[in-house]
Amino acid sequence: MDQQADNQPGAESAPLVEVVPLGRVNQTAAAVAAANLQAIFGLNAAVSEPWPEPTYALVPTRGQYDAGPILLALAQGGPGPPLRLGLTGRDLCLPFLSYVFGEAQVEGRAAVVSLHRLRDAAQGGTVPRALMLERLAKIALHEIAHVLGLVHCRAPGCLMNFSSSLAGLDRLRLGLCPACNSRLAWQRRRLLGQASRAPAGPGPPGP
């Protein structure tokens, strides 16, 4: 059975994760990402004011946005909570991958998630809004777990399974296996200790 992190929701007085809309992003989607980081991982999260559209990351020949420069901008964007999660409506890619749902700096500061493909249905058309938001929550949690140092897991249904398709994503549960949950709990305690020693101020409006 999946377990939640050994958290006490609301225990932190300051956000540990800043959810950053990049350009025009649905406010409900941003709120859902923040709420799941709190409820599932016990990481106090807050939605920031939107940052500018990441036009600097556009790959004109592909009509997509390179996730790498976006991660750098989020990580280097000045003071703020220890972790940042960017949300964009643009289609993300990497030089060696045709698309990604999200990307993260493993044991770094930043992650980014794209909403672009999350409404797609297998047979064409779109899925219900509730399923789209569930997919968003799973990817946001998965990528922030990478930032905290967790790697891909092979335990059936664990949220840290590698998934390159929406069908694979939909098969995952909204939670971690016991081993990943234990690693997350340790990393969360470490993060709380760091945050208490070096409280951060508000972040900038954008790169």
- Which string of DSSP letters, residue by residue, matches 148-183? TT-----STT-TTS---SHHHHHHS-SSB-HHHHHH
53 counts as catalytic? no
- Say if residue 39's pLDDT is above 60: yes
pLDDT at 195: 73
Asked if 164 and 124 touch (Cβ cutoff 8 Å), the reply is: no
- Alpha carbons 138 and 160: distance in angstroms, whole number: 9
Q: 46: which DSSP letter? A: E
pLDDT at 4: 52
Question: Which band of pLDDT confidence, cut at 50, 70 and 90, is reported for residue 7?
Answer: very low
pLDDT at 10: 41
- Alpha carbons 60 and 174: distance in angstroms, whole number: 35
Question: What residue numbers bound the domain in which 122 lies?
Answer: 17-192
155 located within any domain: yes
Neighbours of 109 (CB within 10 A): 18
pLDDT at 25: 96
10 located within any domain: no
pLDDT at 83: 96
Predicted confidence (pLDDT) per residue in 116-147, tens digit: 999 999 888 999 999 999 999 999 999 999 99
163 located within any domain: yes
Q: Give residue for tokens 């006490």.
A: 8
What is the side-by-side order of every strand in the sheet holding 58-59? 58-59, 64-66, 92-94, 97-100
204 located within any domain: no
Mean pLDDT of the chain: 89
187 located within any domain: yes
Mean pLDDT of the region 152-170 = 95
Question: Which band of pLDDT confidence, cut at 50, 70 and 90, is reported for residue 200?
Answer: very low
205 located within any domain: no
Range with the poorest average pLDDT among 5-14, 103-112, 131-140, 165-174: 5-14
Predicted confidence (pLDDT) per residue in 60-114, tens digit: 999 999 999 999 999 998 888 999 999 999 999 999 999 999 999 999 999 999 9
Count how many domains the chain has.
1
Asked if 155 and 182 touch (Cβ cutoff 8 Å), the reply is: no
pLDDT at 122: 80
- Say if residue 44's pLDDT is above 50: yes
pLDDT at 130: 97
Q: Residue 162: which CATH number?
A: 3.40.390.10
Q: Given 12, 18, 134, 143, which residue is catalytic?
A: 143
46 located within any domain: yes
Per DSSP, the residues of 74-102 read: HHTS-SSSSEEEEEESSPEEETTEEEESE
Length of the chain as a residue count: 207
Beta bridge partner(s), residue 45? 17
- Alpha carbons 131 and 204: distance in angstroms, whole number: 32
CA nearest 66: which of 85, 94, 87? 94
- Say if residue 206's pLDDT is above 90: no
- Alpha carbons 53 and 31: distance in angstroms, whole number: 19
Helix axes 129-147, 27-41, angle to 10 degrees: 50
63 located within any domain: yes
Predicted confidence (pLDDT) per residue in 21-32, tens digit: 999 999 999 999
Asked if 194 and 82 touch (Cβ cutoff 8 Å), the reply is: yes
